[in-house]
Chains A and B, each alone.
Chain A
């Protein structure tokens, strides 16, 4: 009995790698208009995933917007140097993550020297959640929000490499091999980081409490 582990490099991403190769050839021929059209296919298939990854790092939708835009523009500019033996998704994810890490560094630098003028600490979504909802009680909304914030804080607390491994491995379903290709760290080291990240996460979010809340959530859901 032998199963392949779940992977992001599916048939779709293989097709994307071929598309990226074709765009590269078009750019080499100087057919930039056609290359641009074909690149939109890649934008369509990778935008959501890239945005999600960027969101886990940056936690600010405006920053995510800019990071993802920059990543796609950078990918288009550097497509001539893309090597097809690497899946496009892996190559592109590396660009997204590097962009996010650069932005985080810049944020840290800014926060060291500048004081924000006004920061209510609430996003539009938080305000939207305050409205009464027909299908969720205020208690449920509060609980869900608390868990989300708890998880986000725990992720931000993790060291950079563990965070990357957790985001790609647990949230996005990349295999250790793919994470190794994205990060340039060897596979066994990825596994070590993966285990440490899970252990730290369980400690940070308080695994037992988390599970109790989860059970409560489910009970509530089944009751309604």
Chain B
């Protein structure tokens, strides 16, 4: 009796109150198998205001924590997300048990089939190749023949050039055999013509600054 009175005077431990708080709204006096709560603790709690206050605060805290945690999860897990998740679960299980719609399989040939050729086809193929060769050689000869004595290209080039400064057709004929020299001359003339344009005036200053290869080689010596 004395021990009981002494026990009831002591406040409940945090562990006991936590246990109590976990039970939430249950009535005081609950005694379950294996529970920490005892009849003595229940009795103490019924008449001890500080313990009641501590218990109530703990219950409120846990209730609030639960509410926040749940609302957090519920906000993240929207009904749309859960619906699509459910569909995926269903599809995966359907695929697992083999009752899903069969997947479309693209057909590939197992191996490349070679078409057997007959002897007749081989002969035609050889004849076509020989004919092609003959026609090619003949066409090449004909092309050379139409060019004549080789004056045509020079005349053509000269005809495309404008201005009196350039060689005339008669001079071009005279330069037959000196085709390389004529080509060089044409390039240099083109360069001179290009340099004479107004757009190149602006580049003259830059040109003056650029060292000539001769100057460089002389300096090297």
Contacts and interface: CB of A to CB of B under 8 A. Distances in A.
Q: Which of B14, B18, B58 has the most CB of A within 10 A?
A: B18
A185 B81 CA distance: 34
Contact of A72 (B18, B76, B89): B89
Q: Which of B23, B62, B68 has the most CB of A within 10 A?
A: B68
A5 B73 CA distance: 25
Interface string A70-89: 00110011000000000000
A51 B82 contact: yes
Question: Which bucket holds chain B's interface residue count?
Answer: 35 or more
Given A40-B90, A61-B77, A64-B77, A194 B85 contact: no
Interface stretch (A14-22, A94-102, A113-121, A200-208): A200-208
A127 interface: no
Interface of A: 1-6, 32-33, 35-36, 39-40, 43-44, 47-48, 51-52, 55-56, 61, 64-65, 68-69, 72-73, 76-77, 123, 125, 147-148, 151-152, 155, 169-171, 176, 187-188, 191, 194-195, 198-199, 201-202, 205, 207, 210-211, 214
B73 A52 contact: yes
A207 B29 CA distance: 27
For A123, A199, A202, the residue with the greatest tally of chain B CB atoms inside 10 Å of its CB is A202
Contacts, number: 133
Contact of B88 (A5, A48, A69): A69
Contacts of A56: 69, 73
A90 to B, nearest CB: 17
Interface string B87-118: 01110111011110000000000000000000
A170 B62 contact: yes
Interface centre among A3, A201, A207 (most CB of B within 10 A): A3
Nearest to A129: B75
B82 A191 contact: no
A55 B73 contact: yes
* Chain A interface helix/strand/loop/mixed: helix
9 contacts: A5-B26, A55-B73, A65-B88, A147-B68, A169-B22, A198-B18, A207-B57, A211-B61, A211-B64
A198 B62 contact: yes
B15 A39 contact: no
B161 interface: no
